[in-house]
Chains A and B, each alone.
Chain A
Amino acid sequence: MDNWKKLPGCQHITSTECNFSSVKLKNVYEKIELRIRAEKGNNASQWHEVKPFIPFQKAQIGPLDVHLEAEDKAIIIHISPPGTKDSIMWAMDHSSFIYSLVIWKNSPSPEERTETVYSRDKIYKLSPETTYCLKVKAELRSPRRVGLYSPVYCINTTEKHKVPAPENIEIDAENQVYVLKWDYAYENTTFRAQWSHEFLKRIPGSHSDKWKQIPNCEDVKTTHCVIPQNVFPEGIHRIRVQASNGNNTSFWSEEKIFNTEMKTILFPPVISMKSVNDDSLHVSIGAPKESENKSVNQLYPLIYEVIFRENTSNAERKVVEKRTDFTFPNLKPLTVYCVKARALTENDKWNKSSVFSDTVCEKTKPGNTSKTWLIAGICTALFSVIVAVYVVKVLLRCINYVFFPSSKPPSTVDEYFSEPPVRNLLLSTSEERTERCSVIENANTLTVIEETNPIDEDHKKYNSQTSQDSGNYSNEDENSGSKISEELLQQETV
Chain B
Amino acid sequence: MSAEPDVIRKCTWPVCLVGLFVTGILSLDCSLLDVHLRRVTWQNLSLLSRMSKSFPIECLRESKAFELPQEILSHTQPLTRDIKEAFYEMSRQAFHIFIQDTFKSTWEEKHLRQVQIGLDQQLQYLEQCLEEEEEENEDMREMAEDEWTQSGAPVPQLSNLELRRYFNRIDRFLKDKKYSHCAWEIVRVEIRRCFYFFHKFTALLRRK
Contacts and interface: CB of A to CB of B under 8 A. Distances in A.
A327 interface: no
Among B32, B167, B172: residue with most chain A CB under 10 A: B32
Contact of B99 (A95, A198, A298): A95
A142 B117 contact: no
Nearest to A321: B25
A241 B199 CA distance: 39
A287 B17 contact: yes
Interface in B126-166: 127, 130, 141, 145, 148, 152-154, 157, 160-161, 164-165
Interface in A457-485: none
A54 B13 contact: no
Name, among A141, A234, A287, A299, the residue most crowded by chain B CB atoms within 10 Å (CB to CB): A299
Given A199-B119, A299-B39, A29 B161 contact: yes
A298 B32 CA distance: 10
B52 interface: no
Interface in B16-37: 16-17, 20-21, 24-26, 29-32, 35-36
Interface stretch (B68-76, B88-96, B181-189): B88-96
Contacts of A234: 114, 117
B49 interface: no
B96 A236 contact: no
A287 B17 CA distance: 7
A142 B161 contact: no
B175 to A, nearest CB: 10
Contact of A143 (B123, B154, B165): B154
A346 B32 CA distance: 12
Contacts of B89: 142
A48 interface: no
B117 A92 contact: no
Given A143-B157, A144-B145, A287-B16, A295 B120 contact: no
B168 interface: yes
Interface string A291-331: 00011011111100000000000000000001111000000
Given A92-B168, A197-B113, A301-B29, A58 B152 contact: yes
Contacts of B148: 144
B145 A233 contact: no
B117 A197 contact: yes
Contact of A197 (B116, B152, B172): B116
Contact of B117 (A94, A235, A294, A322): A235
B6 interface: yes
A346 to B, nearest CB: 6
Contacts of A53: 152-153
A199 B161 contact: no
> For the side of the interface on A, what is the size category?
35 or more
Interface of A is mostly: loop
Contacts of B118: 235
B164 A56 contact: yes
A301 B13 contact: no
A94 B95 CA distance: 11
A290 B89 CA distance: 35
A92 B95 contact: no
Contacts of B92: 93, 95-96, 142
A92 B93 contact: yes
B10 interface: yes
A27 interface: yes
A294 B13 CA distance: 11
Given A92-B171, A198-B120, A325 B24 contact: yes
A272 to B, nearest CB: 13
A57 to B, nearest CB: 6
B117 A301 contact: no
A142 B88 contact: yes
Given A299-B39, A325-B24, A95 B95 contact: yes
B20 A287 contact: yes
A347 to B, nearest CB: 9
Contact of A299 (B16, B168, B172): B16
A324 B123 CA distance: 28
B29 A346 contact: yes
B9 interface: yes
B99 A203 contact: yes
A282 interface: no
Interface of A: 27, 29-30, 53-54, 56-58, 91-96, 141-144, 197-199, 202-203, 233-236, 287, 290, 294-295, 297-302, 322-325, 346
29 contacts: A29-B161, A29-B168, A53-B153, A91-B171, A92-B96, A92-B164, A92-B167, A92-B168, A92-B171, A96-B92, A96-B96, A141-B127, A142-B85, A199-B117, A199-B119, A199-B120, A203-B99, A233-B114, A287-B20, A294-B6, A298-B16, A299-B32, A299-B35, A299-B39, A301-B30, A301-B31, A302-B20, A322-B26, A323-B25
Please list the 4 inter-chain residue pairs (A to B) with the smallest Cβ-Cβ separation, ordered nearest first: A199-B120, A235-B117, A29-B165, A301-B32
Given A92-B164, A197-B120, A299-B35, 4 more contacts: A93-B96, A298-B16, A299-B32, A323-B25
